[in-house]
Structure 1
Amino acid sequence: MTLAPERTRTTPTTSAPTTPGINSRLSVTSAEPRPQRPEFKKSGRPNPAAHLSAEQIEEIGRELDALRQEVLDSRGAKDAAYIRKVIKTQRYIEMGSRAALLFSGVKVKGVRPMWWLGTAGLSVAKILENMEIGHNVMHGQWDWMRDPKIHSTAWEWDNASPSSQWKHSHNEIHHTFTNVLGRDNDLGYGILRVDEDQKWTLFYLFQPIWHVANALLFEYSIAAYDLELGGYLAKKNRMSDEDKAKFRADAQEVVTKIKRQATKDYLVHPAMAAATFTGSTRHTLTANIVANLVRNVWTNTVIICGHFPPGIETFEKASIEGETRGDWYLRQMLGSGNISGSKAMHVMTGNLSHQIEHHLFPDLPSNRYAEIAPRIRDLMDRNDLKYVSGNLAKQVGGVYWKVVELSLPPKREGTTRRATILRAAKRAVRGKGGAGRRY
């Protein structure tokens, strides 16, 4: 699991750290305070944390440490009962929905009620399994229960991506380097320009299309992303035989997982429906397809609303050198956004509607995020830090606007966007790298 870097400890005779910290990639390299943050980033955009001193940032970190420990110390039977109830409910919904789909071919006054009921129920079950259960279990949020059935090392979710590969790309990489340009591959998943500080290329001109396709096929996109397929294709000619062999082994694991998922949803359950003699085989198949599409679009929607809405900050690679615990916490707060809504909506998002709280404390039980959210907001308000939050429509609209707006090159004096696009297109046609050239 990913945690903030451990606080530096020093010996009486030296100022150098004596422990590497929980997160070695973010361990403090010097006991000296970090310099005051510049008023503007290299891109010219304002730095939202420029008004905070190093001491203030570390004080924020200490307050968050205390809050985290408070929740850890209070975990107990009520929390354990919550996750067990969610798992039990999810399984009952799935079993009931699949039972209904056995009769999905039956018409009543021209309508197939069991198809609609079964499809809706299966969609909800798949969303619950992926979001509130799978995602959070694999973050280690429930490992403290010591229940081998609800443990991050044993859980395999209903998704095309193998849990081991997802935990590496998500828990270890994304949560460590949240919104760091060039380090966090989740920032646009390599196919979207979602921040002005990302350089524009001709490829991004078509990102509204990529975005919709990515949402519909999200589980397969995530599987390819976790596999680092794009990186492999880009540098396979320079890879060692050992690295190629590892990629092939990982790819085989993904193919095996996809086959297992497809067999379950598109062969076994439709075949079971054939035994009812109601002509429901085809309808059960379409129900499974629709449920997977609904789950994919919903999951994608929740994730983009937590990571890409207006107001979210990105960070340069150099800005995390020597990053302290307080700095790491600060980056999580500024690089995440929340979705406001009902308790039911929070559960259906896996409580990732509290994305700020989740990024601060990815290992805390998800049912506790709503409880600590007002305190996080108060902390950020006291330190003049923007707490990005809005209802689902507002956040989705903001992201889709960014996807369209940032598909175009930035406005520059002395030229037009149209001229920049035409220039890039001409270079691409001539084979001079226009599609990948940055502007």
Structure 2
Amino acid sequence: MAITDITEFAHLTDSDIDELGRELDRIRRDVEESRGQSDARYIHNVIRLQRALEIGGRALLFGSRYRPAWLAGTGMLAVAKIVENMELGHNIVHGQWDWMNDPEIHSTTWEWDQTGPSSQWKRAHNYSHHTYTNVVGMDEDVQFGIIRITRDIPWRPINLAQPFANILLATTFEWGIALHDWKVTQKAERARGATDIDYLRREFVRKATRQVVKDFVLFPALTGPAWRSTLTANVAANVIRNVWAHAVIFCGHFPDGAEKFTVEEHESETKAQWYLRQMLGSANISGGRVMDFMSGNLSYQIEHHLFPDLPSNRLREVSLRVRALCDKYDLPYTTGPLSRQYLLSMRTVMKLSLPDRFLKATSDDAPETSSERKFRVLSRIGQGVAAAGTADSVSGGRVGLRSALRSLRNR
């Protein structure tokens, strides 16, 4: 099953984890105290770039009956939608720019270019997902519809369809997110005793209708005789945006090394252990500044989960300090190129579509799910790593999870 004791799994002592938590608190304070004009200039420049791309793309689509104009217009519109969703919508609605007190760039006023209302996304994502990250039974993102991504969730016959369902999800990702958030928000409202939640449906229908009319009726109609080719361009731009967002999100949450946790582990965790859960439950994407920007800096998913409300443009510098802490405490820092992380995620989707009897590993030692139990076999055969909190005889650093995983691989 998933991790039940994060301290044992991490091969650290309670004092190690508390110290790690204090060092992460220090990183947060340093960034908060240094936010200023350069950060504000960055987000304003991104907004100007995004709007220029969208206006330029839609202008080109007036000539969309000609293939070069269709290709250029579709490409610009797709990039504009990606930037709006990833670097603007996602991050602004997280409250990353609320410190500016700018009413236009604020989590309470920004409505993103996506089917679902940002208010429902905030409830399902900002709270449910980021509070209970990868806690099986509490984080609804661990089982997205029929997509099974951990052996801790029982197999059902419908999971046989998940390779095909995943393709459908990728191409219609904004709709999958919107319906998922609507469901999670309804569940949360019922849990707190609300009886009249029909307003959530009305809110969802209004936003979805507005998006459909804008992209598939209004803008194609404005191009007159070119409306058919403009319609196909808008469909293509949305699909490109959806597939890209799906890839980035899956790479940050579901490749090997992004661990899962039990409700019991979460119920007794401290703030420092919460930090540790975010570090062990997330994965980064390597690829440089273009990848960082086009992913909304979710290429730094570990840092984003540690500090979801810090400005996205600061996560690159934060990552250097977080990686140094991983070295100090001998913790893995899960990262890799987009192609590798995506293939690992898709391998999990394909593999877990099958019943458990066809799988070799268990939920204690699978590549995508593991627990502290997998290390106990080393102790039984006398090949365990040094006790938590001890120093390596060569480097002098702590002996932690990274060394334990190395010993397990060597066995």
CA deviations on 1:358-395 (whole Å, 9 max, x unpaired) are 00000110001111112111211221221110001001
Q: Classify 1:298/1:379 alpha carbon distance in 2 versus 1 (closer, same or farther; 3 Å).
A: same
Where do residues 139-178 of structure 1 align in structure 2 (5 Å cutoff)? 139-178=94-133
Matched, 1:62 2:22: yes
Measured in 2, the distance between the counterparts of 1:47 and 1:214 equals 36
Q: CA RMSD in A?
A: 2.3
What SS is found at the alignment partner of 2:50? helix
Of 356, 379, 382, the match for 1:410: 356
The residue aligned with 2:196 is 245
SS at match of 1:183: coil
State the alpha-carbon separation in 2 of the partners of residues 220 and 195 from structure 1.
23
**Aligned 8 A contact 1:49 1:385 in 2:** no
CA–CA distance in structure 1, aligned partners of residues 281 and 4 of structure 2 = 18
CA contact (8 A) 2:21 2:275 kept: yes
Whether 2:218 is the aligned partner of 1:268: answer: yes
> Contact (CA 8 Å) 2:161, 2:353: kept in 1 or not?
yes
State whether structure 2 residue 148 is matched by structure 1 residue 197: no
Equivalent residue letter for 2:196: A
User: What residue identity is the alignment partner of 2:351?
Assistant: E
Where in structure 2 are there 5+ consecutive unaligned residues?
360-411
1:43 shift after superposition: 7.8
CA distance in 2, matches of 1:222, 1:366: 21
Unaligned runs of 5+ in 1: 1-40, 107-111, 233-238, 414-439
User: What displacement does 1:200 show?
Assistant: 1.6
Could you tell me which amino acid in structure 2 is paired with residue 312 of structure 1?
A: A
Deviation at 1:329, TM superposition (A): 0.1
Q: Which residue of 2 aligns with 1:109?
A: none
SS at match of 2:285: strand
TM-score by length of 2: 0.83
| Equivalent of residue 270 in structure 2, options 314, 318, 324 | 324
Name the one with the larger helix percent. 2
* 2:255 counterpart of 1:309: yes
The residue type paired with residue 130 of structure 1 is N
Instruction: Quote how far apart the aligned CAs of 1:316 are.
Output: 0.2
Q: TM-score with structure 1 length normalisation?
A: 0.78
Q: CA contact under 8 A between 2:297 and 2:315: conserved in structure 1? A: yes
Would you say the 8 A contact 2:75–2:237 is kept in 1?
Answer: yes
| Superposed structure 1 runs of 4+ greater than 4 Å apart | 41-48, 229-232
Aligned to 1:122: 77
How many aligned positions are there? 358
- Output the CA distance in 2 between the equivalents of 1:140 and 1:273: 36
Match for residue 357 of structure 1?
Answer: 303
The equivalent of 1:91 in structure 2 is 51
Does the aligned pair in 1 maintain the 2:2–2:261 contact within 8 Å? no
Alignment correspondent of 1:105: 65
Q: Structure with the greater relative contact order (CA < 8 A, sep ≥ 6): 1 or 2?
A: 2
Deviation at 1:50, TM superposition (A): 4.2
Q: Structure 1 CA distance, aligned partners of 2:17 and 2:212?
A: 49
Name the CA shift for 1:199/1:291 in 2 (closer, same or farther; >3 Å): same
Distance 1:151 1:118 in 2: 29
| Selected match of 2:207 from 257, 273, 282 | 257
Q: CA deviation at 1:412?
A: 7.5
Counterpart residue identity of residue 113, structure 2 = D
1:97–1:121 contact (8 Å) kept in structure 2: yes
